[in-house]
Amino acid sequence: MGYHSELMISMWESPQLNGLDKSICADCVLDEALASLVAANLSSSSCSYCGEENEEGDMIAAPYDVVMERIYDSIFQYYADAQDVNMPWVEKNG
């Protein structure tokens, strides 16, 4: 296989959650747990989604990657293949 083929395969082996240089504020997430996550990871004085900006430079938004990783982890916990998350499973015969 060529370099580019192997690169594409390796890129799709794991979730592609990074790469967006955006921030999100607690007001833009509806879930209380995600709002708490945002509050615990503040790193930007502006929100890329609602456009809110803090003129004084106070941090009001967290990196997009932090929020998306938590969402992905939650989905993966409930919808992953059993063998991929070390859950016991029984293969049906016939």
User: How remote is the C-alpha of 38 from its chain's centroid?
Assistant: 12
Count Cα neighbours of 86 within 13 Å in the Cβ-side half-sphere: 0
Identify the bridge partners of residue 53 per DSSP, sorted by sequence position: 46
> For position 29, what pLDDT does the model report?
94
> For position 14, what pLDDT does the model report?
56
Annotated domain spans of the chain:
21-81
> For position 27, what pLDDT does the model report?
95
Q: Report the candidate in 86, 85, 69 with the shortest Cα–Cα distance to residue 77.
A: 85
- 4 pLDDT exceeds 70? no
The pTM for the full model equals 0.66
Residue range 23-71, pLDDT digits in tens: 999 999 999 999 999 999 999 999 999 999 999 989 999 999 999 989 8
Q: Report the candidate in 34, 28, 57 with the shortest Cα–Cα distance to residue 44.
A: 57
